[in-house]
Amino acid sequence: MDMKRHYYEDVQLFTSGVIVFWFGAFIVFLALFPFVVKNYYVYVANYMAINVIVVIGLNLLVGYTGQISLGHAGFFAIGAYGTVVLMSKASFPFIVALPAAALVAALFGFLLGLPALRLEGPYLAIATLGFGLTITQIIGRIEFFGGRQGLHTPELTIGPWHLDTDIDFYYLLITLTVLLAVAARNLIKTRVGRAFIAIRDADIAAETMGVNLVMYKTLAFAVSAFYAGIAGGLYAFVLRFIEPEIFTLLMSIMFLAMVIVGGLGSIMGSIAGACLLSWMDLQLRNILSIPYVGLWLEALSQSYFSITGISNIQYIVFGLILVLIMLFEPLGIFGIWIRTKKYWKTWPF
């Protein structure tokens, strides 16, 4: 039943009517979401949507092309600073500034992709990590970019509309997220996506089959950086204020963690992983207010640990998640989903 008989079946965006139905239902849900929940949850949804964009982009690089990046906070920062600077200093409209900043990020992605052509494994990890750290250091030292004080994000206007509440911004953000997610899925189904996957599975074999490694590896970096740049530009409007200390190595690690938790090489997995970890991130920031567990942790902290450091439990939680996922379910949420599906399909057996 999963057999493909025609090339078109391999490249089509929706493989069955059921998927079209669920996709439509999901879109309706997203459209109605702000009307039924409190304002805080709209903010949470915005935060999630931004992470979803970055994580989809990072998954194109890590999950589909098989490269490692520990520097995505750098691209994220370029997007955020690019958008804000273009809007406030060069008075570009938002519609132009956001893609322009993302293209700058993509250019940096292309440049980082060049040394990455010759590097793999730990070498690539340290090179991308160094890039991420260097970018924020440089931005933090240049007065034009606000230096250590940071920059205030200007008002967000698109044509005649003023987007000044979380709900207005939510619609912009969700539209972009859905578009970018569909675009990523589409990309994977094309010639380019197949080249990415071939490079991941065996780069030398791919090269002998005629895949241009130079072009597709740098392209993967550029596309991934473009996604991070868009997300960064939007993140500036969620925070309304940006400073270099936001874009740390820890942020790059969190992006990678979201990819891993969601599942390598899966767009749906990326969405799930990004939503889950962003939700946990926001919840763990005020850990004491979680019912039952909060009280128990408070008692534990007072007797064995310190109460001032209790917010650092989030590191332990995320670290445990990373280790356990890698040990027991290397494909993350996507892997669990695949297994459940298989189980029910063949059920009594």
The footprint of other proteins (CB under 8 A) covers 62, 66, 68, 70, 114-115, 118-123, 125-127, 129-131, 133-134, 137-138, 141, 202, 204-205, 249, 253, 256-257, 260, 264, 301, 304-306, 308-310, 312-323, 325-327, 330
Q: Which amino acid is at 28?
A: V
CB of 165 to other proteins, least distance (A): 34
**CB closer to other proteins out of 20 and 250:** 250
CB of 24 to other proteins, least distance (A): 35
CA-CA distance, 75 to 58, in Å (whole number)?
11
**CB closer to other proteins out of 91 and 308:** 308
CB of 217 to other proteins, least distance (A): 14
CA-CA distance, 196 to 73, in Å (whole number)?
22
Phi then psi for residue 66, to 5 deg, are 75, 20
> Are 262 and 62 a contacting pair, CB within 8 Å?
no
**CB closer to other proteins out of 100 and 282:** 282
Phi then psi for residue 158, to 5 deg, are -120, 110
CB of 294 to other proteins, least distance (A): 14
> Are 13 and 182 a contacting pair, CB within 8 Å?
yes
CB of 62 to other proteins, least distance (A): 7
Q: Which residues contact 236 (CB under 8 A, 6 or more apart)?
A: 80, 81, 83, 84, 153, 242
**CB closer to other proteins out of 48 and 261:** 261
**CB closer to other proteins out of 291 and 309:** 309
Please provide the distance, in angstroms rounded to a whole number, between the alpha carbons at the two ends of the chain.
18
